[in-house]
Structures are given as C-alpha cells and as structure tokens.
Structure 1
C-alpha cells in the first residue's frame, strides 16, 4: 500500500513538473490512463488545464495582434500593442510556470 501511495505521489508531482519537459502532454496521458485512480486522475486533469493556460493565452495574443495589424494597418499601434501584450503574456506565462513548479514540489515534500 505504501509503495502505491509513493508511486501516486511521484506521478502527481510529475504531472505538474512536466511543464519543464513535456508541457500538457504528460498530464494529458496520465489523465487518460488513470480513470481507475480518482485522485491521480483529478491531479492530472488540473495539471493539464494549468499547462494549457499559457498555450491558449499565447495563441490568442498572436491572433489578436495579427487581426490588429491587418485591420489598422498602423505599425505604431500594432507595435505598442505587441509590447504591452508580450509583457503581460510573458508575466502570466512565467507565473503559471512557477505555480506548476510550486505544486509539483509541494506534492513531493508533503508527508
């Protein structure tokens, strides 16, 4: 029983820490294959969604900048918007990265 708990803990932590080596792919696979283990399943689902936030946010930002560039045809407006959005998205993406690391380490050091 203790070994299973230890394995669950490692997989749960890796679901969050995979933001370093396999963002959203590892938690998605764990989420698909752990339907029989509710705790691991929920942790993988949460990690998957947390990993998707930066990806979706970045894609939406690029789309918004493209639409702005095409519709305004004003490079100054598009440039300023790019700088502001790039900084904002960068801060949010970095925050999500650190938060995922925090959650993974928290699971590993929990008793």
Structure 2
C-alpha cells in the first residue's frame, strides 16, 4: 500500500472514531470569566454552539485540532480578518487580539479562558 493511501485510510479511520458532535454540550459551557462570557454569548455562541454553521463547535476539541495545528497566531489572524462565513473580528467589536486568543482557547478546550 502506498504511504499516501495508508495515511488517508488512517485519517478516515480516526475521524470516524471521534465523538459525534453534542450540540447540548456546545450550548451549555461558558467561560469562567464574566467578561469572556459576555463576549462569547454576544459574538461566538450563535455559530460555535450550532451544528451545521461550518464553525467548529465549542467544547469539541477534535473539530478544532486542524485549526490549532496551524498555530494560534495564524488562527487569531483569521478571526481578525474574517474567514469564510465568519465576519472580521468574529463580530466582536469589543475584542482585542488577547480576547480572541482567550475565546479560541476556551472554545477549543486548549487551555481555559485565561
């Protein structure tokens, strides 16, 4: 078997083994910080807690893995500029880059909400 085919097969197998999306979990978790709770509820939750929007769900690390592998700086830059259906800044007019970084860490499960 060629390495590319083997790698593709392994990727598909592992993807199929991941937990199915749980919209209730995505809707029910909130950052510990009151400020981040407000920012998240106003600007992020509408897409990141609803399956089918194209946005990775909050509290579903497997949906964030490929994005995080590109690096936090690149991910924050995508948020600031807008990406796909996500508007620039993620529609968070009050957010600075540190807020975006903290919200990404919270939503992806990669380190709390600082």
Shorter-chain TM-score category? under 0.3
- Structure showing greater radius of gyration is 1
Compare relative contact order (CA 8 Å, sep 6+) and give the higher one, 1 or 2. 1
With structure 1 as the length reference, what TM-score do the two structures score?
A: 0.28
Q: Which has the higher helix share?
A: 1
